[in-house]
């Protein structure tokens, strides 16, 4: 950048520095490198997807001249061919809200100068200018903006923008790029919609604020739906925290809906009014209406005439559907809910809160209360949706006997036996669970193909099997006990026999997964833990197994397959 009379420039040295750095950045970069710099959380394939729909068009800075005319002269002296000045509505309004100043008291203009990008394509330097005359009282804005770089950003123009493209780009940036929504608006002077996003990476590592951490998507025309979605995004941390802190209310609302049997009543073919619903469930009508409204906000029910009907989520609370989560809702709103209130005990001591509260671990406590034991067994069957791929994806043709260790009510084993008529099964369980397992097998017509063994798998496991199952068992125990269970299995299994393990796996990175929440549940209520695939690999190796492969199952489950050495 050339300067004909740099010594006579009237702009502030800090403004000059930012303009020169922005020009240098544009000349050194292109669409791909800018995306990599601005959104390090976005993988190469995702960056290519974004780049296919938009192009790097400009870098923007905010400066503070005394007059726009003086700024234009200084820019020309720097060798920048600036065009006409236009008003900036979006940035003016953002500054107004940020510093509590009336929008009409702020004069913000936009000047643009062409600059070639690193790949030779035409690009621009976009300069936002807040006019700060002497004695204007705007010095607090100048200090704040220079310290935080709020308005500095890198912009991309969206080619052929429509609602689908903008929604897809927005989802890509937020969900995969870990950016946060940072406002937006419509500029009538340019007939353009701008959507802002901010990177959180520099905030997370506690380092200095980067020169550019904001991204602007510019779409020609007015895109009302995209702007509405942009402003629906929670912007108040306090509101978000309140929503998180009231999660216990959600648990109880769903548990009460299950306890009252609302889903079964609302599923009636003839429909039911709220008055009838209150009468049939023994609830106060006014209070029930308030609960239904809350459940509607959670997406469990939806208003329908003078009553409500079930959503797809709400259907799972019916007692007459396959994989009903009705018992699970009651369990999580009952004993486990009570013990979760003692989570602080588990965090401070490393010991489960359930035993601290009830005096026994949950297995023994439920065994002493048959109604809870029956509810627990039915609740575990709620997650049977993850069993389908186990039956479909494992070749049992070379096996004769499948041993299900701590197989609960026998749901998984019964599915395997139905799919492979040549197999025989052995189910090992505690005495009070065997009755439920016998019922499952009898209902499926498989009682004559299954042997039931009452026992403790920490002491011994039935021998003679070709395939052994451990479905959602190992996560109930700490590493020492988990290894002991695997060693008992290894003692009973011949060399080459296969062990199938169904568990939720903790991700190796920070990817979202139900296993993360369940890990805290296991710590508090059960005394066990969820583990990564590599953690299980080490435990299996210590017990004499080789982990051969693992695959994903529904409900964030996983099937791990191991061979006895």
Which tens digit of pLDDT belongs to each residue from 472-487? Answer: 999 999 999 999 999 9
Residue range 189-228, pLDDT digits in tens: 788 899 989 887 644 444 444 578 889 999 999 898 888 8
Report which listed range, 90-99, 178-187, 299-308, 342-351, is most confident.
342-351
**Better-predicted residue by pLDDT, 391 or 385:** 391
Residue range 219-248, pLDDT digits in tens: 999 898 888 887 775 556 788 888 889 999
Average pLDDT, stretch 307-317? Answer: 93
Q: How confident is the model at residue 8 (pLDDT cuts 50, 70, 90)?
A: confident
Structure token digits, residue 331: 């369990």
Sign of the dihedral defined by the CA atoms of residues 527, 533, 534, 538, in that order: positive
What is the spatial distance between Cα 164 and Cα 225, in angstroms, rounded to a whole number?
10
In this structure, what are the phi and psi dihedrals at residue 109, rounded to the nearest 5 degrees?
Answer: -115, 165
What is the spatial distance between Cα 80 and Cα 16, in angstroms, rounded to a whole number?
12
DSSP H or E run through 350: none
Active site residue 362: no
Write out the CATH class of domain 382-564.
alpha beta
Among 6-15, 116-125, 334-343, 511-520, where is mean pLDDT lowest? 6-15
**Phi-psi bin for 365: left (phi > 0), alpha (psi -120 to 50), beta?**
alpha
CATH level 3 topology of 242-333: Arc Repressor Mutant, subunit A (1.10.10)
What is the spatial distance between Cα 315 and Cα 275, in angstroms, rounded to a whole number?
21
Question: pTM of the entire structure?
Answer: 0.62
Q: How confident is the model at residue 2 (pLDDT cuts 50, 70, 90)?
A: low
Question: The domain 13-231 is classified under which CATH number: 2.30.40.10, 3.30.70.1560, 3.40.50.2000, 3.10.180.10?
Answer: 3.10.180.10
What is the reported pLDDT for 6?
A: 52
Structure token digits, residue 459: 């002491």
Is residue 9 scored above 90 in pLDDT? no
What dihedral angle (degrees, nearest 10) is formed by the CA atoms of 330, 331, 334, 335? 170
Residue of 304, 282, 278, 279 lying closest to 290 (CA atoms): 278
In this structure, what are the phi and psi dihedrals at residue 144, rounded to the nearest 5 degrees?
Answer: -65, -40
Q: Where are the domains of the chain?
A: 13-231, 242-333, 382-564
138's CB contacts (< 8 A; 6+ apart) are: 64, 101, 106, 130, 132
Cβ count within 10 A of residue 82: 18
What is the reported pLDDT for 384?
A: 72
Determine contact, residues 519/535, Cβ cutoff 8 Å.
Answer: no
- The 3-state DSSP class for residue 193 equals strand
Residue range 266-275, pLDDT digits in tens: 998 888 999 9
What is the spatial distance between Cα 373 and Cα 100, in angstroms, rounded to a whole number?
60
**Better-predicted residue by pLDDT, 373 or 333:** 333
Query: Average model confidence (pLDDT) for the chain?
Result: 90
Is residue 166 scored above 60 in pLDDT? yes
- Find the catalytic residue in 223, 362, 475, 521: 475
100's CB contacts (< 8 A; 6+ apart) are: none
Residue of 27, 47, 48, 31 lying closest to 39 (CA atoms): 47
Determine contact, residues 500/467, Cβ cutoff 8 Å.
Answer: yes
What is the spatial distance between Cα 181 and Cα 161, in angstroms, rounded to a whole number?
19
Q: How confident is the model at residue 5 (pLDDT cuts 50, 70, 90)?
A: very low
Is residue 302 scored above 50 in pLDDT? yes
Burial of 211 (0-12, 13-18, 19+ CB in 10 A): middle
What is the reported pLDDT for 203?
A: 43
Average pLDDT, stretch 8-29? Answer: 92
Distances in whole angstroms, Cα of residue 286 to Cα of each of 292, 508, 541, 565: 10, 48, 60, 65
């Amino acid at each position: 950048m050339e300067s004909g009379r740099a010594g006579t420039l009237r702009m502030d040295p800090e403004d000059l520095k930012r303009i020169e750095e922005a020009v240098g950045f544009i000349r050194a970069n292109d669409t791909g490198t800018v995306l990599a710099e601005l959104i390090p959380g976005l993988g190469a394939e995702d960056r290519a997807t974004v780049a296919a729909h938009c192009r790097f068009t400009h870098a923007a800075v905010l400066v503070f001249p005394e007059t726009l005319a003086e700024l234009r002269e200084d820019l020309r002296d720097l060798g920048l061919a600036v065009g006409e000045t236009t008003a900036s509505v979006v940035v003016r309004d953002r500054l107004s809200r940020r510093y509590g100043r009336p929008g009409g008291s702020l004069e913000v203009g936009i000047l643009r100068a062409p600059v070639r990008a690193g790949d030779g394509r035409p690009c621009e330097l976009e300069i936002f200018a807040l006019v700060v005359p002497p004695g204007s009282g705007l010095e607090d804005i100048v200090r704040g903006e220079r310290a935080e770089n709020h308005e500095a950003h890198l912009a991309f123009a969206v080619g052929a923008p429509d609602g689908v493209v903008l929604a897809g780009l927005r989802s890509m940036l937020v969900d995969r790029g870990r950016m946060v929504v940072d406002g937006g608006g419509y500029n009538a002077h340019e007939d353009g919609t701008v959507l802002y996003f901010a990177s959180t990476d520099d905030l997370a590592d506690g380092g200095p604020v980067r020169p550019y951490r904001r991204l602007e998507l510019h779409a020609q025309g007015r895109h009302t739906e995209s702007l509405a979605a942009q402003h629906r995004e929670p912007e108040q941390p306090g509101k978000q925290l309140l929503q998180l802190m009231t999660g216990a209310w959600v648990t109880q609302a769903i548990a009460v809906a299950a306890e009252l049997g609302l889903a079964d009543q609302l599923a009636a073919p003839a429909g039911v009014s709220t008055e009838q619903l209150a009468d049939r469930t023994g609830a106060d009508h006014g209070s029930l209406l308030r609960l239904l409204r809350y459940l509607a906000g959670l997406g469990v029910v939806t208003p329908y005439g003078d009553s409500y009907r079930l959503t797809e989520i709400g259907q799972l609370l019916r007692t007459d559907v396959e994989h009903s989560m009705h018992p699970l809702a009651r369990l999580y709103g009952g004993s486990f809910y009570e013990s979760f209130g003692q989570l602080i005990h588990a965090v401070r001591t490393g010991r489960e809160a359930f035993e601290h509260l009830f005096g026994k671990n949950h297995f023994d406590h439920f065994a002493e209360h048959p109604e809870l034991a029956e509810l627990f067994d039915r609740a575990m069957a709620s997650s049977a949706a993850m069993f389908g791929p186990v039956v479909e994806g494992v070749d049992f043709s070379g096996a004769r006997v499948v041993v299900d260790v701590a197989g609960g009510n026998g749901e998984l084993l019964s599915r395997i036996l139905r799919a492979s008529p040549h197999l025989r099964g052995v189910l090992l369980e505690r005495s009070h669970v065997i009755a439920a397992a016998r019922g499952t097998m009898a209902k499926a017509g498989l009682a004559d193909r299954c042997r039931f063994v009452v026992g403790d798998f920490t002491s011994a496991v039935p021998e003679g099997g070709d395939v052994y199952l451990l479905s959602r068992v190992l996560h109930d125990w700490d590493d020492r006990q988990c290894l002991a269970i695997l060693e008992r299995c290894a003692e009973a299994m011949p060399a080459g026999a296969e062990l199938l393990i169904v568990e939720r796996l903790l991700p190796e990175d920070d990817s979202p997964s139900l296993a993360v929440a369940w890990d805290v549940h296991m710590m508090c209520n059960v005394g066990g833990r969820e583990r990564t695939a590599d953690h299980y690999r080490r435990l299996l190796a210590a017990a004499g197994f080789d982990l051969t492969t693992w695959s994903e199952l529904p409900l964030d489950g996983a099937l791990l397959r191991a061979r006895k050495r």
